[in-house]
Structure 1
Amino acid sequence: MERAPRLQDVAAAAGVSRQTVSNVINSPGLVREDTRERVSRAIADLGYRPHAAARSLRTRRSSTIAMHLDPYAGGISGVVLDRFVHALTDLAGERGMRVLLYTGRDHDEEIARLAELLDGGEADATVITGTFHGDPRTRWLAARRTPFVAFGRPWGEDDHHSWVDVDGAAGTRKATAWALDAAGPRVAFLGWPAGSGTGDDRELGWRSALPSQAGLRLVSEESVGDARAVVADVLASGAAIDALVCASDSLAIGAHLAAVAAGRADLPIVGFDNTPAAEAIGLSSVEQLPEQVASAALDLLLDPSGSATAPDGARHVLVEPQLVLR
């Protein structure tokens, strides 16, 4: 079995000492730019990955990112967060960092558990999800100068921290533009009740793509059954619909079942999340690209040397999703 490259292998390939390689990894500011670039190329060519445990002894840091694991809620669209966690763990490993998952039944318990990990030196930084206006976690983390980034916008004025999110409006705008061209002018939208930042953003994309502000807006809870009932009632009423853009794949699958039952199996329906369930049925959907979200989150969280740094101003990244047609 071929052994993994070691620090001395990088030093030999770059023509420098082991200490210089160590400085490039842990204190790059001490190394001249040309030497730093030469060592970085050797690290990339050899596929060298610093040993996290050894680095923690040298730097007094754990090289660990803590992330709260949300309770299992079932449903169809939860696979997006699963993909994000998997990608974050994989990409963090490539940068010599580890991801530590922890649980908490509410935000207070989440903060208490995270405080234990940070104060005990088990984690240096954190990634949080499900942020909202007035989120106590972001204020607590900012107050103690803990490096963190959020997957999701705060949807309010307290935009004082770094975050990465998916441009939901861009996704539904693409879906609506395609539906208008492929099916006709009467493109309806099936979304959640008003007041959800994510849901309102996706509705905005649909509205912005319509030739006028007029358009049939349907409302359903995040449930296949509820969506099926709502769309079944609308189709039974004789409402003219050429296509339907939905805020999630769960809603899209419910709408599809209603359309099939009403003899409208050919009704173009576009979901959001591009889940395996939508793919299995053959529904078009908006792909959120959680792997790109994870990569952007790490870019915001880690400095060029690969270490988590305390927040220095808020930075934001919006990842543009892709429309997957089937």
Structure 2
Amino acid sequence: MAKSPTVEDVARAAGVSRQTVSNVLNSPEIVREGTRERVRAAITQLGYAPSMAARRLRTQRSATIGIHLDPYAGGISGIVLDRFIHALTDRATPRGLRILVYAANDAEEELRRVRQLREGGEIDRIVLTGTYQGDPRADWLSEHGIPFVAFGRPWGEPGAGAAMGNPDRPWVDVDGAAGTRAATVHALDHGPRVAFLGWPTGSGTGDDRERGWREAMSVGSGERSDLRWTAVDTVAAAREVVEQELSAGAVDAIVCVSDTLAVGAHLAALHAGRADMPVVGFDNTPVAEALGISSVEQRPERVAEAVLDLLVAESGTHDGDWHRLIEPELIVRTREAS
């Protein structure tokens, strides 16, 4: 039977010391990025898995991360969180960490579940998802001394601006404005009238994505308020809005706040005889890929890496860097005409 790889094997393959491998697994923030990548590549290549049992005995911690699994809601864009959880699980194992997924219907039930899991020694840290205005979970976790990192900024919280760099409110998020800015710059190559199809105002994520469109339009052709369209996040609503707008006036391209709205806009464009009109979505879902719709990729693998880096870091070791914005990537598909 083949011998399982050891820390020494990983160190030898990466050309580093045993202590450096240990640091990458337990305190990655103190290791240079290039060295971290080399060590993680060696871990993957060798199939090294730290002994979680030994770590639990040494640290008296479960080395298990809890994450809430949202109820199934259907739709197109829900796949993003599934991809994130898969990436988180895949990248936690080489660090000697496990993922425990739990279900709850609301915040109150989730906090009861977290309390039970923590008191039972089943988890010792949390990844928060789906943060929202008035969300009580971050305060509760801080008050009970449970380390956590949020996937998403503290939109709408009182003093949210100050919370952006607060080590008591660590978060990782995708730079939505950068994504829609890149999408709009691309769309402007097809003409100056680029519409933005977004959600109703008041959504932190939606407003951030709209900001990227506004910034690109102010540089590219002068922003036009009549090109800001609104729909709730359903294909039918998006199709209805875009069909009405296309019948009222010409546009050269449409940038959408989500792939759900992009699918609706795409169907409306087909109905209007504008199959060549560029439509760009956000989330890069399989549906967008199947229909040949360009979209902004959130890169959940990089989000997962950043979340894990913050979760295993000790307070005070990041010099105030307790939030990370991940640059998304625009995926352009050839359905569009030049």
> TM over 0.5, yes or no?
yes
1:66 Cα shift? 0.5
Note the 1:23-42 alignment, pairs <5 A: 24=22
Note the 1:1-326 alignment, pairs <5 A: 2-6=2-6, 24=22, 44=43, 47-156=47-156, 157-158=159-160, 159=163, 160=166, 161-181=169-189, 183-210=190-217, 211-215=221-225, 216-237=227-248, 239-303=249-313, 309=314, 315-326=322-333
Structure 1: distance between partners of 2:251 and 2:24: 60
1:130 Cα shift? 1.2
Structure 2: distance between partners of 1:322 and 1:28: 30
- Asked if structure 2 preserves the Cα contact closer than 8 Å seen for 1:89 and 1:98, the reply is yes
Residue 306 of structure 1 corresponds to which residue in structure 2? none
TM-score by length of 2: 0.82
1:114 Cα shift? 0.5
1:81 Cα shift? 0.6
Across the aligned residues of Structure 1 and Structure 2, the Cα RMSD in angstroms comes to 2.9
Q: Residues 213 and 27 from structure 1, CA distance in 2 versus in 1: closer, same or farther, beyond 3 angstroms? A: closer
Query: How many percent identity over aligned positions?
Result: 57
- Asked if structure 1 preserves the Cα contact closer than 8 Å seen for 2:197 and 2:255, the reply is yes
1:310 Cα shift? 6.0
Provide Cα deviations, 1:83-129, integer angstroms capped at 9, x if missing partner. Answer: 00000001001101000000111001001100111121111101011
Structure ID, larger Rg: 1
Provide Cα deviations, 1:63-98, integer angstroms capped at 9, x if missing partner. Answer: 100001111111111111110000000100110100
5+ residue gaps, structure 1: 15-19, 304-308
Q: Residues 232 and 57 from structure 1, CA distance in 2 versus in 1: closer, same or farther, beyond 3 angstroms? A: same
- Asked if structure 1 preserves the Cα contact closer than 8 Å seen for 2:25 and 2:96, the reply is no
1:49 Cα shift? 2.2
1:26 Cα shift? 12
1:146 Cα shift? 1.3
Q: Residues 241 and 62 from structure 1, CA distance in 2 versus in 1: closer, same or farther, beyond 3 angstroms? A: same
- Asked if structure 1 preserves the Cα contact closer than 8 Å seen for 2:149 and 2:307, the reply is yes
The one-letter code of the counterpart of 2:295 is S
Residue 336 of structure 2 corresponds to which residue in structure 1? none
1:3 Cα shift? 3.6
Structure 1: distance between partners of 2:24 and 2:328: 35
The one-letter code of the counterpart of 1:219 is T
Query: Which 4+ stretches in 1 moved above 4 angstroms?
Result: 9-14, 23-29, 40-47, 309-314
- Asked if structure 1 preserves the Cα contact closer than 8 Å seen for 2:149 and 2:311, the reply is yes
1:12 Cα shift? 11
5+ residue gaps, structure 2: 334-338
Structure 1: distance between partners of 2:86 and 2:186: 31
Structure 2: distance between partners of 1:28 and 1:243: 47
Structure 2: distance between partners of 1:28 and 1:71: 32
> Is the partner of 1:100 in helix, strand or coil?
strand
Structure 2: distance between partners of 1:55 and 1:189: 50
Structure 2: distance between partners of 1:106 and 1:295: 27
Structure 1: distance between partners of 2:194 and 2:215: 12
Moved more, 215-224 or 81-90: 215-224
1:133 Cα shift? 3.6
Moved more, 43-52 or 81-90: 43-52
1:144 Cα shift? 1.7
Structure 1: distance between partners of 2:327 and 2:179: 7
